[in-house]
Amino acid sequence: MARFTPRQDEQEGLVENQDIRKAGLKVTLPRVKILEILENSEARHVSAEDVYKQLLANDEEIGLATVYRVLTQFEGAGLVERHQFDGGHSVFELNRGTHHDHIVCIRCGKVEEFVDESIEKRQREIATEKGFEIADHSLVIYGECKKENCPNLKE
Amino acid sequence: MARFTPRQDEQEGLVENQDIRKAGLKVTLPRVKILEILENSEARHVSAEDVYKQLLANDEEIGLATVYRVLTQFEGAGLVERHQFDGGHSVFELNRGTHHDHIVCIRCGKVEEFVDESIEKRQREIATEKGFEIADHSLVIYGECKKENCPNLKE
DNA sequence: ATTACAAATGCACAAGCTTCTCATTTCCAC
DNA sequence: GTGGAAATGAGAAGCTTGTGCATTTGTAAT
Ligand SMILES: [Mn+2]
Ligand SMILES: [Mn+2]
Ligand SMILES: [Zn+2]
Ligand SMILES: [Zn+2]
């Protein structure tokens, strides 16, 4: 009966297992579960602690150290991106292949995304002017979202 | 002879003592020394640890906790600005009253500054589009500075 | 100059986030 | 199925930043 049992990744129709392999990493249960959480989580931008708490809620016995290790490896492999919004701790999001910047509500923490080609272009020009070979950039706008939408302002 | 002894701050021709007072803070030796370091330090952008090490080098007996406390108070008073470049720890710089953004060399850590009004304007427009009341923003370009200038690339 | 008291400091300690250590377990090529 | 390298879990440790408290310092009024 074992002969016709499909492998788990085929069974569940997941594409991410191949992504993990492509990154040169062994396909382990923690890595698969963490990737699932990144895919399915309500919030697109999550901290390591957020991922860990989700794992606990799903009764997965995965250590916090592993979460940090795996997220860092996924970052190195280009599977996820790490951001450092003000406040010190990192947040991660699945790399969907399209660059974007962020606007964050300083009251409720909501994160929205945007792309502006004219800003991108000016950044490239500035780097060139300064003699820098640009590798990356981080643009975060901080503000207060609309009062009627902001969960931290119901008075 | 004491009658005609000028106060120390007049004696040294420093303007910052008044700035500290204007912020509603007592003019204490640690605060004066820390402000001096921010004014005179070679690097415009320094970490709390950098400031602390400078103090030690100057034989000042000022605790690291005081450095953090004072820098945070100066930030609150608008005397200094705090930035969170990638890497986890904060860097501080004297507030010279003019907003600017930063471009950082990922090899040697060098920081240069720039202002681009078209980027500033687009940011304001994007915030408005998204229904955010803009409070602040952080734009950092990461790249590699010119090889002949980069101290971490002499081969 | 002395006094008087709130404010600030230094030290030790603690919090919060992240990384490391290492014994044990898991994946995977054979 | 087995072997062995790679990965994990649990906890300790590291790093930056903040706090509690006894002591010192700055300030303004004597
Ligand atoms: Mn995003
Ligand atoms: Mn600057
Ligand atoms: Zn909000
Ligand atoms: Zn450089």
Interval A37-63: pLDDT, tens: 999 999 999 999 999 999 999 999 999
Could you tell me the distance, in angstroms and rounded to a whole number, from the CA of residue B94 to the centre of ligand 2? Answer: 8
- Structure tokens, A63: 């250590």
Q: Using 50, 70 and 90 to split pLDDT, how confident is the model at B12?
A: very low
Whether B130 contacts chain A with CB within 8 A = yes
pLDDT at B7 over 60: no
Looking at the structure, tell me whether residues B82 and B137 fall in a common domain: no
Looking at the structure, tell me whether residues B33 and B109 fall in a common domain: no
Domain extent at residue B141 = 98-155
pLDDT at A5 over 80: no
Q: Using 50, 70 and 90 to split pLDDT, how confident is the model at B155?
A: low
Whether B88 contacts chain A with CB within 8 A = yes
Looking at the structure, tell me whether residues B41 and B113 fall in a common domain: no
Looking at the structure, tell me whether residues B54 and B91 fall in a common domain: yes
pLDDT at res. A16:
76
CA of B88, C1' of D10: distance in angstroms: 25
Q: Using 50, 70 and 90 to split pLDDT, how confident is the model at B67?
A: very high
Looking at the structure, tell me whether residues A4 and A80 fall in a common domain: yes
Looking at the structure, tell me whether residues B9 and B67 fall in a common domain: yes
Looking at the structure, tell me whether residues B72 and B131 fall in a common domain: no
Q: Using 50, 70 and 90 to split pLDDT, how confident is the model at B15?
A: low
Residue nearest to nucleotide C17 (CA to C1'): A89
Q: Looking at the partner chain, which of A132, A137, A144 has a beta carbon nearest the beta carbon of B145?
A: A132
Q: B104: buried, middle or exposed (CB in 10 Å: 19+, 13-18, 0-12)?
A: buried
Average pLDDT along chain B: 89
pLDDT at B1 over 70: no
CA of B124, C1' of D13: distance in angstroms: 44
pTM for the predicted model, two decimal places? 0.87
Domain count, chain B: 2
Looking at the structure, tell me whether residues A80 and A131 fall in a common domain: no
Looking at the structure, tell me whether residues B86 and B114 fall in a common domain: no
Looking at the structure, tell me whether residues B82 and B126 fall in a common domain: no
Looking at the structure, tell me whether residues A75 and A111 fall in a common domain: no
d(CA A82, CA A76): 10
Looking at the structure, tell me whether residues B69 and B16 fall in a common domain: yes
d(CA A114, CA A100): 6
CA of B54, C1' of C1: distance in angstroms: 36
Question: Percent of chain B, pLDDT > 90?
Answer: 81
- Structure tokens, A24: 């040169």
- Structure tokens, A26: 């062994």
Nearest DNA or RNA nucleotide to B23 (CA to C1'): C7
Q: Which of A95, A110, A143 is the last residue of a domain?
A: A95
Q: Do B138 and A134 touch (CB under 8 A)?
A: no
The CATH number given to whatever domain includes residue A14 is 1.10.10.10
pLDDT at res. A15:
60
Q: Using 50, 70 and 90 to split pLDDT, how confident is the model at A114?
A: very high
Q: Which of A57, A75, A95 is the last residue of a domain?
A: A95
